[in-house]
Structure 1
Amino acid sequence: MDSPDPPDCTPASLGFEVALAQVLGTLTPLPGREEVPLEQALGRVLAQPLLAGMDLQPWPNSAMDGYAFAVADLDLALGEGLTLAGTALAGHPFTGRLAAGQCVRILTGAILPAGADTIVMQEQVIVEGPRVRLTAAVRPGSNVRAPGEDVRAGEVVLPAGSRLGPPQIALAAALGQGHLTVTRRPRVALFTSGDELTPLGQPLAAGAIYDSNRYLLRAMLEEMGVSVVDLGIVADDPDAVRAAFAAARAQADVVISSGGVSVGDADYVRDVFSEFGDIHFWRIDMKPGRPLAFGRLGETWFFGLPGNPVSTAVTFLQFVRPALRLLEGEPASPPLRLELPLLEAVHKAPGRLDFQRGVLSRDATGRLGVRSAGHQGSHVMSSLAAADCLMVLSATAGDLPAGSLVQVELLPWRATTKP
């Protein structure tokens, strides 16, 4: 569970929306850009707009397999039929020009022959030797893809700040772009804090736990394509925390810690950081994850995340992930949230915005809804692994009965399915 707050704990908690706006309003994209081959550009962010250097498609071509002819010959095509003059294939165009009364067999993607302006699909013709007769009238220009129908030369096809996914990569390739100019990715230093943390492969002492948060955070960072500097486990000792911050400042744009930002006697991270830089805030009215620190260490940004694993994951998703995207040059945008009915009642105490783990499911009628992924304690990792979404429950809400409409935010990973 999140640590209780003593009555004299200051400063007061910030509202979630205020805190997020402060983070995103403070950060600016990192300087620096590089040119990369197109095959290495997946997941990167464009540093400058991509302009089309040509029309797409660059020439008129066929949208399907059929026969190309001039619509002026339509009456002849419906009556006696047209004379087959040759074949046009993708990459192997028909050479020459159609004469009156002629047609060409054409396959999808092939250039429209000179003298033709219309294509009839092969299912609408009868072929009798060299004669091709239409069985139904077609409109002028049918089944012809016009030059520039997709993109016009000089048009901005991808603005700066676009995240390059498979469709964007394909679009750049279709325009002949072998290299793209992209922004610099953030370098992130990461450490976990706590004398109870034990490295993997070592036996657990009484009261100790394995260091799962560092693996959780590293995996979420690597999933984003971020360069990670892993500083390991830092002891609950001010000098050790100082050394970690010094190392992080020397080699990273962002430093993320997990643990040590609450109000316990051995929570040194926040206090030691104050010797190096400025803390903007360190308490948020959200659950899980109230103890969340954000500040600046010279040119390095700092996120101090809580120590409970679910709190770590939720604060990373809601604050760190959008911050890293912004630093990489992607414009800030609110997460996509769906409004879905609860398939079962959900317990919630009024007071804080609550991100509860959920599972998308369908009711007996096939209607999509959401149910709890299980135990909602901030230490329970099994329900985090079982969740495919977060139910975003307002601060004022109390217990919610089945059928209530709630906001749902999809998680960026697949849920564990139970056998």
Structure 2
Amino acid sequence: MTALNTIADSIAGYDQNDMPVDVVRDFLARMIEPIHGTETVDLWDALDRIVASDVISPINVPPHDNSAMDGFAFHGDSLRAGEPLRLACIATALAGHAWSGDVAADQCVRIMTGAVMPAGLDTVVPLELTRTTDDGLVEIPAGALRAGANRRRKGEDLEQGSVALARGELITPAALGLLASLGLARVDVKRRLRVAYFSTGDEILKPGEAPREGAVYDSNRFSLFGLLTRLGIQVVDLGSVKDEPEQLEALLRRATEDADAIITSGGVSGGDADHTKALMHRLGDVAFWRIAMRPGRPMAVGSLSRPRGDGRCVLFGLPGNPVAAMVTFLAFVRPALRQMMGCVRTEPPLLQATSTETLRKRPGRTEFQRGIVSRAADGTLQVCTTGNQGSGVLSSMAHANGLIVLPHASGTIQAGDSVEVMMFDGVM
């Protein structure tokens, strides 16, 4: 892994006391390396895994020309402009039961969706476009369709020998079905990423403990558990630790034993009790940033040495405020972990929506405001905030369905202006 100071020297605008969001993303993209190791799994266990090597299609999909509709198959060159076509139906072709026989120019075959096209036939007229004449012929109205209509060609979806899924693709439900359509029962995937996480702070209470003055319940541990679980990785929950250097060091060393990455929440600001900084510096190569963003200004990133000396473990130190921890995870940690997983698509797409209210902001920082996206009367997307945007107002994250992303250089957004939104569906 490249030393942090080497990466910092290569990035224009690097200032650890005032880091623009784009610089943070650039830094992490240069720092993170994909994990090694693959395994072969059954399709039933492949959902949300990352393809380890190109999957080559062993067959043509579809394997034969077939009908895209229930209707009648016939010779397309029998069609005449401006004239109806009348054909005698001589047989029926069912899906899964290929029909063989000769079909003349004035004949057709009743065919079902997915059935193999009889030899020589290239066109299917949908059943609903036809009528049966008094003498039992199938009549196709003039101009109803063109030659070649409603035929799926052999290999139209995938040709034998082509790449069905490329290395680094996420196996989604659709990709899972695609692999099954090739007749594959197993697939090579990257091994699961292992991420350990814990919360820090004397003020932390576990759910179920009796309240006490000055203490708060540990929401970060559960929010991070949910965010990590949605990534399909191996989650190692190490609980919480007080602001005591010996306990913190023991937990960090324990985390480095088997994890690929460690996430902490709390202990990365400038407080007197924040021992995380000193320990991280002693245990590895760590940088502490003040990011030009809201919420989520303090963050630590780096790597810690493994006790066995076999490589290093990536570290992400998140702020302790609940919303700030989630926002910095979504903005930086999630894309970095997906890069570690070997995924080719690390950033979620942003949607465009119209703001229904004025969003006050000053230039010089990126803001992630909690928003609710809905559909306006004209069918376009609109978004409003959830109200109070304080970094400790976790209820606003629960009520929101996305983050309104206001860029570094922008100022106040007026009602009616277009904004970008990171939707929660698919990222948390």
Give TM-score scaled by structure 1 length: 0.90
Structure 1 residues 132, 396: CA separation in 2 closer, same or farther (over 3 Å shift)? closer
Amino acid at match of 2:368: F
Provide the residue aligned with 2:103 in structure 1: 98
Structure 1 residues 347, 80: CA separation in 2 closer, same or farther (over 3 Å shift)? closer
Provide the residue aligned with 1:203 in structure 2: 210
5 Å matches for 1:31-110? 31-71=36-76, 81-99=86-104, 101-110=106-115
Per the TM alignment, residue 365 of structure 1 is displaced from its structure 2 partner at its CA by: 5.1
**Please, which moves more after superposition, 239-248 or 156-165?**
156-165
Mapped pair 1:113 → 2:118: yes
5 Å matches for 1:13-412? 13-71=18-76, 81-99=86-104, 101-122=106-127, 123-126=129-132, 128=134, 131-136=137-142, 138-298=145-305, 299-331=312-344, 333-363=346-376, 367-412=380-425
Amino acid at match of 1:37: D
Distance in 2 between the 1:96 and 1:60 partners? 16
Distance in 1 between the 2:75 and 2:416 partners? 61
Structure 1 residues 73, 337: CA separation in 2 closer, same or farther (over 3 Å shift)? closer
| Aligned CA-pair RMSD | 2.3
Distance in 1 between the 2:38 and 2:423 partners? 31
Distance in 2 between the 1:358 and 1:73 partners? 59
Query: What do residues 349-398 of structure 1 show as CA deviations (whole Å, max 9, x unaligned)?
Result: 44422111111135565542221111111000111111111122233444
CA contact (8 A) 2:353 2:380 kept: no
Amino acid at match of 2:205: T
Amino acid at match of 2:210: P
Distance in 1 between the 2:405 and 2:84 partners? 67
CA contact (8 A) 2:84 2:142 kept: no
Per the TM alignment, residue 39 of structure 1 is displaced from its structure 2 partner at its CA by: 1.9
Structure 1 residues 93, 128: CA separation in 2 closer, same or farther (over 3 Å shift)? farther
Per the TM alignment, residue 320 of structure 1 is displaced from its structure 2 partner at its CA by: 0.9
Structure 1 residues without counterparts, runs of 5 or longer: 1-9
Structure 1 residues 151, 379: CA separation in 2 closer, same or farther (over 3 Å shift)? same
Structure 1 residues 107, 297: CA separation in 2 closer, same or farther (over 3 Å shift)? same
Structure 1 residues 268, 85: CA separation in 2 closer, same or farther (over 3 Å shift)? same
Distance in 1 between the 2:93 and 2:376 partners? 53
Amino acid at match of 2:142: A
Amino acid at match of 2:183: G
Amino acid at match of 1:308: N
Distance in 2 between the 1:114 and 1:380 partners? 67
Distance in 1 between the 2:427 and 2:283 partners? 39
Distance in 1 between the 2:124 and 2:18 partners? 68
Structure 1 residues 290, 71: CA separation in 2 closer, same or farther (over 3 Å shift)? closer
Distance in 1 between the 2:373 and 2:71 partners? 45
Amino acid at match of 1:64: M
Per the TM alignment, residue 73 of structure 1 is displaced from its structure 2 partner at its CA by: 5.1
Amino acid at match of 1:98: V
Structure 2 residues without counterparts, runs of 5 or longer: 1-14, 306-311
Structure 1 residues 309, 140: CA separation in 2 closer, same or farther (over 3 Å shift)? same
Per the TM alignment, residue 319 of structure 1 is displaced from its structure 2 partner at its CA by: 1.0
Distance in 2 between the 1:330 and 1:57 partners? 28
**Please, which moves more after superposition, 282-291 or 257-266?**
282-291
Distance in 2 between the 1:182 and 1:251 partners? 20
Query: What do residues 307-361 of structure 1 show as CA deviations (whole Å, max 9, x unaligned)?
Result: 0000000000011100110111112554422333321122334442211111113
Distance in 1 between the 2:140 and 2:368 partners? 63
Per the TM alignment, residue 23 of structure 1 is displaced from its structure 2 partner at its CA by: 0.9
Structure 1 residues 230, 94: CA separation in 2 closer, same or farther (over 3 Å shift)? same
CA contact (8 A) 2:93 2:112 kept: yes
Per the TM alignment, residue 233 of structure 1 is displaced from its structure 2 partner at its CA by: 1.0
CA contact (8 A) 1:388 1:414 kept: no
Give TM-score scaled by structure 2 length: 0.88
Per the TM alignment, residue 153 of structure 1 is displaced from its structure 2 partner at its CA by: 1.3
Distance in 1 between the 2:427 and 2:398 partners? 8
Q: Secondary structure at the match of 1:103?
A: strand
